Structure 1
Amino acid sequence: MAVNLDKPHLWKADISQSVDMYNDWFMNFAPSAFRETRVEVTKDVEATLRATENLTNVTPEIFRRYPGILPTLRMSTCPPLAVDRLIGLASVPSSLVKRMEKEKKLPIRLQGNALDIELRKIGKIIERMADPDIFTWLNRSESPSQTDIYRAATIVADRLCGSVTNPIIRNAQERRQLAAIQNWLETRQYRKLVGQDGVKFDQMPPGTFCFRMNVPINLETGKVINIPVDVAIKPKSSSMDELPVFLEAKSAGDFTNVNKRRKEEAIKMSQLRSTYGDQVQFNLFLCGYFDSGYLGYEAAEGIDWVWEHRIDDLAGFGL
């Protein structure tokens, strides 16, 4: 039975309430989430400064020991360097820089002296372009004080956090959404399964739920891959051979991005159905800016949803 996808007369009011709920959360909790992340990032920046002798010795040996420091070093220059700009300035392979950025690892094929040559090029660019207004000790003979180092670290941390503000906010909002779902379920005596339980999605006992569940699906090529599902819930009234209810927690701070991303859920639903049949229940848990265009698209794909401000609608999925 449909919960919200077949009730377009409620959509406008729900959209307004959801936007208000998201904005209230953002004003009251997003700043603290950002600050908490900035504190941790500041510690990482200070560690990078120690490793590079306060940005005066950016050597291949440092990159070999700490390949993950490259984003911090890029934000330490004047102006801060984008990934592609650093690749161009240093004339180094893009695969080297992107692996260090994304995976915090050095390349597998490029090794030995050849690797050191490329790493040294990166180090020279960082040292040459280090921001003297942040790292004030670079223009004087005496060593920086702890206050100098901390001040510089906080500025670089701000730059780093500013470049990933949306993921920080999105991750904080997702944690809050999952906590709301967990509280709702546990109030109704559902039991959370954790990793060490070793239970697959099709082995979940009735009355249990799990976060970050991997579900294998069959591609048209014949290959089997796992797709992550935010929440899997096995209704108390279900039998062991019935599939759990799948939920995807979604939040959005503007209307533009959701309509760019709306196909993602439709693709996931299609993959689940092609593997497990039409009995699959794949639904959304929404908070924020989801307009009628988005809702209509998902409804046409047979994807239902529950608004966080009306979380009790979860009962409509047989929970």
Structure 2
Amino acid sequence: MSVLMYNEWFLNFAPTTFKEERLKCLDQVIQLSQKTNGFKEISEDLLIAQPSSLKILRMLCAPPIARDRLAGLVNATSATIANIETKVNPNAKTLKKIAPSIIRVINALKDVELFNLNKTLGFPQEQNLKVAEAVISDRLTGALADPKIRNAQEERQLRVIETYLQSKGYVRFDDPEASAIDLPLGTYSFHKNVLMFKNGFDDSNGYVRTPMDVVIRQKIQTTNFHCLLSASQLEILQILTNVGRKKIQKFLN
């Protein structure tokens, strides 16, 4: 049933999200194309003046280059690349220092064939740039739309779980200061970090903080009174055997 619910949601949500994102991306790509003479004039000054253009410049590469890969090639952190792309006013000193390296990488990996389709595929010269803009736009759309779809899917999962838990009489507990083991009886909470043994057996190797998407405390006091679910486990719940489902249901009753 949960798989069918997801399939129905995806068919209704994903295409619309992709189309909306594509229109935004195409507009951004065309604007940058016009500003750079069909992507022929890519410079440090451009990047410094318009840092957010980096997300498009990465899509000019063959293959399109991810933030992490670009960070490695220019000897920067992934956070630095993300800040350049997403912050309204990224650190000017850092940007000025790293811009030459970024532009060198973009120009070195530029998808030359994409801008010469009139030669490789016989396209009319006047259509070449429009086709290239559409391809770059689609690359960017995929990079931006996929995380949105994943995030929306997680929200959908949590809403379904919340509806089910409330039907069983459980109450949401939202105190951000409370740890997972401090939840009152008969409550649940989303997005908690849980301290777990590093070696999986005891505390001889210390602890590690493990993010859990859902933490549930049973209505009655027992030795094992918590149900912890990570994002990957939420997906596993979709294909649980009848025995697995019965165990979850027994835990919640």
**Do they fold alike, i.e. is TM over 0.5?**
yes
Q: Deviations over 1:267-297 (max 9, x none)?
A: xxxxxxxxxxxxxxxx985225x7xxxx8xx
Residue 188 of structure 1 pairs with residue 186 of structure 2 = no
TM-score relative to the length of structure 2: 0.62
Give the counterpart of 2:7 among 26, 33, 37.
26
Counterpart of 2:196 in structure 1 is 217
SS at match of 2:230: strand
SS at match of 1:36: helix
Q: After TM superposition, list the pairs within 5 Å mapping 1:141-160 onto structure 2.
A: 155-160=135-140
Residue 231 of structure 1 pairs with residue 214 of structure 2 = yes
Give the counterpart of 2:21 among 40, 59, 62.
40
Residue 316 of structure 1 pairs with residue 250 of structure 2 = yes
Q: Give the conservation status (yes or no) of the 8 Å contact 1:75–1:81.
A: yes
Q: Give the conservation status (yes or no) of the 8 Å contact 1:55–1:130.
A: no
Relative contact order higher in (CA < 8 Å, ≥ 6 apart): 1
Give the counterpart of 2:104 among 111, 121, 125.
121
Q: Which AA in structure 1 matches 2:42?
A: V
Give the drift of 1:204: 1.0
Distance 2:206 2:36 in 1: 47
Percent of aligned pairs with the same amino acid: 19
Q: Deviations over 1:187-231 (max 9, x none)?
A: 23322233x643211211112211221112243584543111121
Q: Which AA in structure 2 matches 1:208?
A: T
What number of residue pairs does the alignment pair up? 229
Distance 1:39 1:115, change over 3 A: same
Give the drift of 1:235: 1.5
Q: Deviations over 1:152-210 (max 9, x none)?
A: 7765343234468876665444333222111001123322233x643211211112211
More divergent stretch after superposition (38-47 vs 184-193): 38-47
Residue 175 of structure 1 pairs with residue 159 of structure 2 = no
If each structure's helix is expressed as a fraction of its own residues, which one has the higher value?
Answer: 2
Q: Give the conservation status (yes or no) of the 8 Å contact 1:232–1:245.
A: yes
Distance 1:66 1:45, change over 3 A: farther
Distance 1:165 1:305, change over 3 A: farther
Give the drift of 1:120: 3.2
The answer for unaligned runs of 5 or more in structure 1 is 1-17, 251-264, 266-282, 296-303, 307-311
TM-score relative to the length of structure 1: 0.52
Distance 1:93 1:170, change over 3 A: closer
The answer for unaligned runs of 5 or more in structure 2 is 86-90, 118-124
